Amino acid sequence: MANGEFDIVLWGATGAVGRRAAYHLAHRTSRSDIRCALGGRDAEKLKRVRDDLGPAGSHLEIVVGDSKDREFLASLAGRSRVICSTVGPFALYGSELVEACAKAGTHYCDLTGEPYWMRQMIDAHQAEAQRSGARIVHSCGHDSIPSDLGVLFLQKAAIERFGSPCRDVRIRITKFRGGFSGGTAASFVYAMEEGPKNPTIGKLMADPYALNPAGERDGPDGPDLMMPIRTSFDPELKVWTKPYFMAPMNAKTVRRSNALLRYLYGKDFRYKESDTSRPGIRGWFGAISYTLAARLFLIAMALPFTRAYLRKNVLPKSGEGPGAEVRERGTYEMIAIGAHANGQVIRATIVGRGDPGVESTSRMLVEAALCLAEDDIAVGGGFWTPASALGSLLRERVTAHAGLSFELME
Ligand SMILES: NC(=O)c1ccc[n+]([C@@H]2O[C@H](COP(=O)([O-])OP(=O)(O)OC[C@H]3O[C@@H](n4cnc5c(N)ncnc54)[C@H](OP(=O)(O)O)[C@@H]3O)[C@@H](O)[C@H]2O)c1
């Protein structure tokens, strides 16, 4: 583990999520002796971000370099205990930093929702991270902390109540209000551009166990389909369900957590995430219309001409994200429903305050970095998930400081 001039470096502090993460990092650390820096490729932009933070940001150092510069990144990793990154699409700009952290023993967390890239990173650097002691934790934003920690919370409660975990857990998205940023759009565009060139991307996306360790890539769940035209009635919640955009990504992380937690949820664990519509015929119609519209959007994004048009005229650009009002008024709610083999059901709500795509995500990323820097983490070096590495330590942090709550329902 690198000793470090910096306890935490926020890499990519000038982007849409990065600027909000800088704000939270500054306020969370301004009265402590934790040494932090804002990092990126543009010194002037970084200084402006720090100046905008006022006195709360005065303790933050600035580091400047490029995410493709291996020499610089090796030196930065050598000087840092934890690096948290918003520099994405990660498949484009993230590999060299993960490599540097794995080599130097520097803990790392990020916001990637790109399973094909995560698979590449695990395969390339797991042995090195285990040797160096670097804890590498991907997906520390709205994708996938609420799902991953929510399932861990529910399963621990099930084990306490029933003596064993639930075999079947479903998460239903019951509220989602907010926007999304340019970096999220860029990651999606990148995946749509690369997909036809590299069939492995689609194969990994569909494989429900793509992120599991070698030799453990099978189980009872079927393929993770991207926005299938499908709706069903949820008798528990009495609403119609519709596909959820990030379900394939979150589900892979939850299943990897189960494997890394030595099958705490059981080897026959099944997991599914869906969005919800209203009850009744209007709910059914809303769910079907939504899935058709989503499918049309995916087709438009798959065709180069319409993709270029949407990118230029509709999708947010790098650095852009929802305005202050949307960020503050944003919110989300998920209900986790666990069905136990004994026929009983256990439910939990996971609620987040602040727009999921930027505000809540930036707070969660900062809490994950603080957790890696300050907490007594039980696992050693290697590639982990939020639940398997940080578990209840992170849950306490995001509950206290990032506006999340996890509660069992009666
Ligand atoms: N997990 C989640 O829930 C979640 C939520 C939101 C976003 N995300 C992901 O987070 C990432 C960031 O999103 P965003 O909207 O904040 O993106 P963004 O606004 O485009 O910001 C990207 C950042 O990366 C920096 N950067 C780009 N190329 C670089 C290079 N070669 N060297 C150094 N820095 C470089 C940019 O610097 P400049 O300012 O100098 O251009 C900027 O600071 C995306 O990958 C997105 O998919 C995930």
Is 109 part of any domain?
yes
Q: Is 354 in the pocket of ligand 1 (CB under 6 A)?
A: no
199 alpha carbon to ligand 1 midpoint, in Å? 25
Give the integer Cα–Cα distance in Å for 371 and 39: 19
Considering the entire predicted model, what is its pTM?
0.97
Beta bridge partners of 275: 173, 242
Q: Is 250 in the pocket of ligand 1 (CB under 6 A)?
A: no
Is 408 part of any domain?
no
pLDDT tens-place string over residues 237-258: 899 999 999 999 999 999 999 9
Confidence of residue 410 (pLDDT cuts 50, 70, 90): confident
- Looking at the fold, whether 310 and 375 belong to one and the same domain comes out as no
| Buried b or exposed e, range 173-212, using 16+ CB within 10 angstroms | bbebebbbbbbbbbbbbbbbebbeeeeebeebbebbbbbb
Residue indicated by tokens 């666990």: 338
Query: Half-sphere exposure of residue 244, counting CA atoms within 13 Å on the CB side?
Result: 24
Using only C-alpha atoms, what is the Rg of the chain? 20
pLDDT for the residue numbered 1: 44
Question: Residue 371: pLDDT above 60?
Answer: yes
Candidates 49, 67, 84, 87: which one to mutate for ligand 1, based on the most atoms within 8 Å of Cβ?
Answer: 87
23 alpha carbon to ligand 1 midpoint, in Å? 16
Compute the average pLDDT of residues 185-208.
92
- Looking at the fold, whether 351 and 370 belong to one and the same domain comes out as no
Is 279 part of any domain?
yes
DSSP classification of residue 144? B
12 alpha carbon to ligand 1 midpoint, in Å? 6
- Looking at the fold, whether 165 and 104 belong to one and the same domain comes out as no
pLDDT for the residue numbered 324: 93
Q: Is 73 in the pocket of ligand 1 (CB under 6 A)?
A: no
pLDDT tens-place string over residues 44-59: 999 999 999 999 999 9
- Looking at the fold, whether 127 and 68 belong to one and the same domain comes out as yes
Ligand 1 atom nearest residue 18's Cα = 16
CATH number at residue 244: 3.30.360
**Mean per-residue pLDDT over the chain, rounded:** 95
50 neighbors 22 (Cβ within 8 angstroms): yes
Is 407 part of any domain?
no
Is 410 part of any domain?
no
273 alpha carbon to ligand 1 midpoint, in Å? 26
Question: Dihedrals φ, ψ of 233, to 5°?
Answer: -95, 130
Ligand 1 atom nearest residue 182's Cα = 15
- Looking at the fold, whether 127 and 202 belong to one and the same domain comes out as no
Written as six digits, the tokens of 185 are 């759009």
Give the distance, in angstroms, between the CA of residue 160 and the centroid of all CA atoms in the same chain: 27
- Looking at the fold, whether 314 and 188 belong to one and the same domain comes out as yes
pLDDT for the residue numbered 3: 60
- Looking at the fold, whether 379 and 342 belong to one and the same domain comes out as no
pLDDT tens-place string over residues 222-233: 999 888 888 889
% of the chain beyond a pLDDT of 70: 99
Q: Of the segments 32-41, 192-201, 274-283, which one has the largest average pLDDT value? A: 32-41
- Looking at the fold, whether 10 and 90 belong to one and the same domain comes out as yes
CATH number at residue 100: 3.40.50.720
- Looking at the fold, whether 238 and 375 belong to one and the same domain comes out as no
State the residue range of the domain holding 323. 145-356
Number of domains composing the chain: 2
Compute the average pLDDT of residues 79-83.
97
- Looking at the fold, whether 136 and 150 belong to one and the same domain comes out as no
311 alpha carbon to ligand 1 midpoint, in Å? 16
Q: Is 94 in the pocket of ligand 1 (CB under 6 A)?
A: no
Question: Residue 2: pLDDT above 50?
Answer: no
- Looking at the fold, whether 290 and 164 belong to one and the same domain comes out as yes
139 alpha carbon to ligand 1 midpoint, in Å? 14
pLDDT tens-place string over residues 136-164: 999 999 999 999 999 999 999 999 999 99
| Buried b or exposed e, range 59-88, using 16+ CB within 10 angstroms | bbeebbeebeeeebbbebbbbbbbbbbbbb
- Looking at the fold, whether 333 and 345 belong to one and the same domain comes out as yes
Ligand 1 atom nearest residue 90's Cα = 45
Q: Is 66 in the pocket of ligand 1 (CB under 6 A)?
A: yes
